[in-house]
Structure 1
Amino acid sequence: MSYDTAKAQYAEWGVDADAAIEATLKIAISMHCWQGDDVVGFEKRSGSSGGGIQATGNHPGRARTPDELRADLEFAYSMIPGAHRLNLHAIYLDTDKTPDRDEIEYSHFAPWVDWAKAQGVGLDFNPTFFAHAKADDNLTLSHPDEGVRDFWIEHGKRSREIANQIGDELGSPCVNNIWVPDGYKDTPIDRMAARSRLELSLDKVIKEDQPKMRDAVESKLFGIGVEACTVGSHEFYMGYAIRRGIALCLDMGHFHPTENVADKLSSVALSVDEILLHVSRPMRWDSDHVILQNDDVLQIAQELVSADLLGRTYIGLDFFDATISRTAAWVIGVRNMQKALLRAFLMPLGSLRRAEESMDFTTRLTMTEEIKDLPFGAVWTELCARTERPAGMNLIGALDAYQASVAGRR
């Protein structure tokens, strides 16, 4: 079907397809660097895994150096419509030195900033509170040992300083997201003590004003080795974000499988000014699969559009799959998030709201089902054509060719 025909069909429902394309292309998605190397990072020192972080599979082509990772990223961005961002973890420093986590500086990440300027992408940042000997017992900022806490507090402070300078250099606020693996394998006696220590440590981390970055805190339901209690629960971080006036991160894999993260958006938006989304797909729990155009992702996008939250929400991805081409995983994931947003912009929200406000739920249900038959694919293909990006079989061919070019890496 031609785009003109599809556009006319959407117009019958009061939807401007051209405006939907333009709105979708304005949204920058923060692509996560850790998909490209299975969350290994580039620290020139031995570490531990920790934190329940594990990428499974051994597909050929894992990036082994910053240059290889940047080359893979450049290819991925060339397959994705629009201008986007990159989300860096602190273990992805690019330096010949071997600083410990409490010694990292902006200079260790300056090559990434130079690259971002050349590529026209923004950067976000994350302190890394896992994969380190001082995190082996799954306690960091809430550790009973003050010395351990001080180590991680310093790491958190330095990460914020780095994020602030990144934001200043790029002229775009750098979102610095704090997630810690802290918790207990078996039932603790004093949860309050651990959470009080975490709160005090976080206060020390975010004490200094850093105007070119944005703070965010991320909860988790549970993790491997912390099945009984996660210190930084959703309730803890939601309350903390409200009290401290910072962004709340909602990771789609960090809640009970029956919870709908899309339903949380309008609730938390009444209490926090900014939201960070980590869009992921939990197959059973936080298994971090490449996102699909499934109901969870479609509903997230619909809520962002219908509740007018896009101006207050940072969208990032968080998954890692080593059983498939890592560059393809990036491309598929970002494009699926864009497709979900485009679908949301193509909804006749005015008519749907009027039906809902008049309690005409029959019309609301009929409309939501009928618009599923509209020719979305033709609009997406037009979006790709306008940005000179491949679609359909052409995309598959490009992904296969690049994977073949890096498959010899070991």
Structure 2
Amino acid sequence: MKLTVVGGGSTYTPELIDGFARLRDTLPVEELVLVDPAADRLELVGGLARRIFARQGHPGTITTTADLDAGVAGADAVLLQLRVGGQAARQQDETWPLECGCVGQETTGAGGLAKALRTVPVVLDIAERVRRANPDAWIIDFTNPVGIVTRALLHAGHRAVGLCNVAIGLQRKFAALLDVAPREVHLDHVGLNHLTWETGVRLGGPGGEDVLPGLLAEHGGAIAEDLRLPRPLLDRLGVVPSYYLRYYYAHDQVVSELREGPSRAAQVAAMERELLTMYGDPELAEKPALLAQRGGAYYSEAAVDLAAALLGGGGSPYQVVNTLNRGTLPFLPDDAVIEVQAAVDANGAVPLPAAPLDPLYAGLVANVTAYEELALDAALRGGRERVFRALLAHPLIGQYAYAETLTDQLIAHNREHLAWA
């Protein structure tokens, strides 16, 4: 089995490598290729990756290359974890929206649109080259904004599934609170990428007992603290929103906090410099503890589980993924991409039936889905007016004066990445 990681020079990658090493019985990788144009980073990450495999006795080979076509040749699955523009572009995404009093974040609001415009054309080019190399290869997208990127891939006919670590993080959190094995916890997870709610927490599988009410009653304070939302709000909702809902439910408070800084991008950039120094230590043969602060917790377990299921070698039968709606949420188009529990096997991901979604959440999901459709149109066809329409449609922007200003700023800050600008 050959797997390729595009964006293999990311500081995330040792987390992924550690999962491949530990879970080799689930996903027996024989050849792993890390692809990245940043040669210096790739050399450091690749060296650590080989030492992790050696330390844990993994027999697979790890190679590194800047040549995308060589890297994806013959791959059974390709994982995408790239960041077009690097942390510098992220720093901009998190900064200029604040000038209008709008949240500055790399996947939400105006910053999220900027990332989508930079990313979608690059990902589609990569996917076409994967398809030419091996039409049967699966593409697993971890590149943000996952919902929009996965929608672009699926609309172009690629064999793709989107992946996010929010659900597995909550599953592990709930399992610890309930003192059960993570595999015993099944989430009724519904919504869009970075716009989801846990409407049930079931023990044993999709039809198991829903323990969410008791979980909130006994541990609501700890859950609310993790989400940085007030406990009474969770009690009133009766569900657990993802922490990204804080950008909606406490928007002005978040903007005030972000203005006080430092930005997450600045923190991550400093962390990456320290991590890369660590990765260069020839004695280091395990992922460092600092990597846990980088983000992407449990990404490796989720990626291994998904790849194993798609490649027919095992993996959990039900997983939270980003895939086509196909009538699951009847108020959305069938070709919208939603993030839900799905049955996953070698034929792909099929969403499980979902209970009717409360209008309190369905309205926001419908609104953001419409924004994502406009965002994808802007990413594919370009043009100032399409960018403006997407920004005007976003529920965190909405006012035409803000949309006008943000359109100009988005284009100015991303001109080098926009072929049409």
TM-score bucket of the superposed structures, by smaller chain: under 0.3
TM-score normalised per structure 1:
0.26
Flag the structure with more relative contact order, 1 or 2, with Cα contacts below 8 A and sequence separation at least 6.
1
TM-score normalised per structure 2:
0.26
